[in-house]
Amino acid sequence: MEAYLGIDVGSVTTKVVLIDRHGNVLWNSYNKTMGQPIKAIQSAFSVLRRDVGDIEIRGVGTTGSGRKLADYIVGADQIKNEITAHAVSAIHLIPNVRTIVEIGGQDSKLILIRNGVVVDFSMNTVCAAGTGSFLEHQATRLGMAIEELGNYALAASSPARIAGRCTVFAESDMIHKQQMGHNLEDIVAGLCDALVRNYLNNLSRGKEISDPVIFQGGVAANPGIKASFERELGKEFIVPHYYPIMGAIGAALLSRNTKHTRFRGWSLSEKQLSTSSFYCSDCPNACGVMQINDCDAVIARWGDTCGKWGRREG
Amino acid sequence: MKNQRIGIPRGLLYYSYAESWKLFFRELGCEVIISPETHADILREGIRHATGDFCLPVKTFLGHVALLKDSVDLLFIPRYVSVERESFMCPKMIGLPDVVRACFTNLPGIVDPVFHVKQFGDKAIHEFTKPIAKAISLPHPDVYTLFKKNMNSGAEISGEQHRLSERLLSEGGTILSSHRKMNIGIVGRPYLLFDRHLSKNLFNCIRDLNANPIFIKPAEPDIREAMAVIPKWVYWDMGKEVVTSAHQFFKDDRIDGVINVCSSTCGPDSFTGDLIRKRLNQRNKPYMALSIDEHASDVGIQTRIEAFIDMISKVTA
Ligand code: SF4
């Protein structure tokens, strides 16, 4: 069987998909990165090989903040930023899509599409108040699993108004609202509203959100957020079946035009790879240089400003 | 008194006037000491010393002051209020010497002459050079003459970028051909654009993606033309240049997209950014405001630039 591989290494989760020439998803996985992206890719690969058996990889695409790292390990034909990757998969799925709202673990994006091409976008990577890790943190604090959050929100009768400009404020305001006696459902719904307000304040200034809107990324799992968006904007938010792995699908789709893949085969992914880092002291930049080691040999380095370390070895 | 060590922090207006200041002080017989290019420690020191919520370029400037202050006899921190009759510098720039004094103890002497064309008109340079002459104990007429002689030397980096950009544009031909490299117009304040640490090496980053970063210094007639398009004259200094460059880029067919590099906490930038987006981009050219703050990660900026270039190339699967 011939297939294309898409790998999305995000700061919170790592997604791997296998698609056929037409873009149908054959296999996929979604795991926490846990600060160890190499391990996350390797374990996804071993499950993939067990599940799928013999396949011929014709192309590999990587995306996400760890896209370069993933390339070093597996050998990629397309190394794409998350914005393009997300747009490509959404357009493939719904050709007339006009807006993509994507909220992941650490960052969120708004992408505007007209006639099948990206015309504008914005991305927020600094403030976590509008992202998945914030929601997860709050769910833990309220003693519920992140999956339950949405159902609580949907059961609310009058959402509490939570000041959510930043995580710290939102948290103290939630505690305040709890103490005032608001019920849990209303607080959770208020939390969803706060996240949505945050997203819109940060990303959609001066940008027109028009139908059809696709909502993807890990946070799209939460029906409470979807409901808040729909209430706030009066528009339907379509959550695609593969919402959490759309970036990986986009990367795989882009790799379909590969003639000779640079894929290094599965063996490298079974090696004992480790990462290490050091601070260069050759100039005041003091760059934090990262390296991947295969036993004692360094197979890749990056993170330097001047490029003296960054050339790939081996 | 000769052979004084004059420290010039490499920040803010340094990026506009560096060359003229250096020549001027050297010809006066001073030893000119300039802080190195911004690096992580300088920025960290600046943030640590900032007593208020200043913008990123001011915080960076404070970091340069911290690095220089103990190794010079005098710090040169001029107070540029207005460089022409109808415009003003940003308030933080006008108050810069006061900001520095408020954030540090144990400062060396500060030479903070006022440049104020709106108030002093033709006498602006005369007034500006008076305190300098006094601080280094040289006759005012000599100091005045030397400053006048060197004042148009400008700044090396922006001038160099400008010349390079003009060459690229003339070589690139005037017609859009599918084989030529993409040209990305860059607008923004020189002290953000050309501080490689703050702008995360933007120019190289664009070159690595096989596109040409284009920077221009607009001429007087271009500024007048751009100002006629918008509802009101931009009275922020540098704001006019930013708005005019954007206007030029939007109407130039050789430019494929425009990036406005701004500091997220800069007041004037938020006005000019709005003007550019709403009033000037009538042909709907690809445009991105790249806002920079001290938390901005290299990866985040890189991702935006890559996505912007993909957007212009209309990448599809
Ligand atoms: S890697 Fe290069 S830029 Fe970074 S600290 Fe070392 S010498 Fe300086």
Across chain A, what does the average pLDDT equal? Answer: 86
Query: Can you tell me the distance from the alpha carbon of B267 to that of B280, in angstroms, rounded to the nearest whole number?
Result: 19
pLDDT value for B281: 84
Nearest CA to ligand 1 atom 4: A287
Chain B residues with CB under 8 Å of A92 CB are 317
A123/B201 CB distance under 8 A = no
pLDDT value for B296: 67
Q: Is A285 in the pocket of ligand 1 (CB under 6 A)?
A: yes
Residue A292 in this model has a pLDDT that exceeds 60? yes
Instruction: Report whether A292 contacts A268 (CB < 8 A).
Output: no
Query: Can you tell me the distance from the alpha carbon of A307 to that of A74, in angstroms, rounded to the nearest whole number?
Result: 22
Nearest CA to ligand 1 atom 5: A286
Band (B48; pLDDT cuts 50, 70, 90): very high
pLDDT value for A105: 79
Residue B136 in this model has a pLDDT that exceeds 80? yes
Interface check for A167 against chain B (CB to CB < 8 A): the answer is no
pLDDT value for A117: 93
B317/A284 CB distance under 8 A = no
Query: Can you tell me the distance from the alpha carbon of B101 to that of A61, in angstroms, rounded to the nearest whole number?
Result: 54
Interface check for B44 against chain A (CB to CB < 8 A): the answer is no
- Omega within 30 of 0 (cis) for the link into A212: yes
Write down the pTM of the prediction. Answer: 0.87
Q: Would you tell me which residues 225-284 of chain A have a C-beta closer than 8 angstroms to some C-beta of chain B?
A: 250, 253-254, 256, 283-284
Chain B residues with CB under 8 Å of A78 CB are none
Pairing label, strands B211-214, B182-188: parallel
Instruction: Report whether A207 contacts A120 (CB < 8 A).
Output: yes
Query: Can you tell me the distance from the alpha carbon of A108 to that of B301, in angstroms, rounded to the nearest whole number?
Result: 14
- For residue A283, the ligand 1 atom closest to its alpha carbon is 8
Query: Can you tell me the distance from the alpha carbon of A138 to that of A141, in angstroms, rounded to the nearest whole number?
Result: 5
Is pLDDT larger for residue A27 or for residue B266? A27
Across chain B, what does the average pLDDT equal? Answer: 87
A23/B317 CB distance under 8 A = yes
pLDDT digits (tens, 9 = 90+) for B59-100: 999 999 999 999 999 999 999 998 888 778 888 889 999 999
**HSE-up (13 A, CA, CB side) for residue B33:** 16
Residue B175 in this model has a pLDDT that exceeds 50? no
ipTM: 0.86
Chain B residues with CB under 8 Å of A256 CB are 317
pLDDT digits (tens, 9 = 90+) for A78-112: 999 999 999 999 999 999 999 999 998 778 899 99
pLDDT value for A314: 35
Q: How far is the CA of B201 from the centre of ligand 1 (A)?
A: 13
pLDDT value for A126: 59
Query: Can you tell me the distance from the alpha carbon of A225 to that of A188, in angstroms, rounded to the nearest whole number?
Result: 10
Q: Is B87 exposed, middle or buried (0-12, 13-18, 19+ CB in 10 A)?
A: middle
pLDDT value for A149: 83
Name beta bridge partners: A111: A100, A121
Instruction: Report whether A292 contacts A72 (CB < 8 A).
Output: yes
Band (A269; pLDDT cuts 50, 70, 90): low
Chain A residues with CB under 8 Å of B40 CB are 284-286
Query: Can you tell me the distance from the alpha carbon of B198 to that of A287, in angstroms, rounded to the nearest whole number?
Result: 15
Length reported for chain B = 317
pLDDT digits (tens, 9 = 90+) for A191-210: 888 888 888 888 887 788 99
Q: Which helix (H) or strand (E) holds A184?
A: helix A184-203
Task: Retrieve residue A99's tokens.
Answer: 């807006």
pLDDT digits (tens, 9 = 90+) for B270-295: 888 888 888 888 888 999 999 888 77
pLDDT digits (tens, 9 = 90+) for A120-155: 999 875 555 567 777 888 888 888 887 888 888 888
pLDDT value for A88: 97
Pairing label, strands B31-34, A237-238: unpaired
Q: Which among B242, B250, B238, B244 has a CA at the least distance from the CA of B224?
A: B244
Band (A313; pLDDT cuts 50, 70, 90): very low
Interface check for A77 against chain B (CB to CB < 8 A): the answer is no
pLDDT value for B1: 53
Q: Is A310 in the pocket of ligand 1 (CB under 6 A)?
A: no
pLDDT value for B172: 60
Q: Is A276 in the pocket of ligand 1 (CB under 6 A)?
A: no
Is pLDDT larger for residue B158 or for residue B15? B15
B316/A206 CB distance under 8 A = no
Q: How far is B304 from chain A (nearest CA, A)?
A: 8
> CA B287 → CA A111, B92, B239, distances in Å?
14, 28, 17
Phi, psi of A201 (to 5 degrees): -60, -40
pLDDT value for B174: 45
- Local structure of B239: helix, strand or coil: helix
pLDDT value for A128: 58
